[in-house]
Amino acid sequence: MASRLVEKSAGIAGDYGFSENRGFVVRVVELRDLSVANIVLRDINKLNLGVPVGIYYRDGSYFVEFRAIYDKAVAERVFQQLYQAGYHDVQLFEQYEVVEYQE
């Protein structure tokens, strides 16, 4: 699904080039309140998943995410453990790095 969105947006932008997959992002939750995001972050840290997790701010929302996971098996393991822990809104994304635009 993510690759189809990249292709669609690139078709609108014109010719493009991008490198291979630059890693995976596991998004746990999107919140509007930083204090609630901190509570979620502390709860996730108790699971001892072995992968760094952080809170990121974009467009008025706080995202609790695992970033820069380079192994798909690790990303899927984190996803499954979070889902089993009760985080049913968890999402797994592939991250690409765009290296060239041509208009």
Residue 68 is assigned to a structural domain of this protein: yes
Residue 71 is assigned to a structural domain of this protein: yes
Q: What is the DSSP letter of 79?
A: H
Residue 60 is assigned to a structural domain of this protein: yes
Residue 81 is assigned to a structural domain of this protein: yes
The average pLDDT across 76-98 equals 90
Dist. CA 17–CA 103, nearest whole Å: 12
Domain count, the chain: 1
Residue 17 is assigned to a structural domain of this protein: no
Q: Give the DSSP letter string of 16-51.
A: EEEEEEEEEEEEEEEES-HHHHHHHHHHHHTT--SS
Mind listing the pLDDT tens digit for each residue in 30-86? Answer: 999 999 999 999 999 999 998 999 999 999 999 999 988 999 999 999 999 999 999
Structural domain of 78: 22-95
Residue 69 is assigned to a structural domain of this protein: yes
Residue among 21, 17, 37, 39 nearest 29 (CA): 37
CATH code of the domain containing 75: 3.30.70.1070
Residue 47 is assigned to a structural domain of this protein: yes
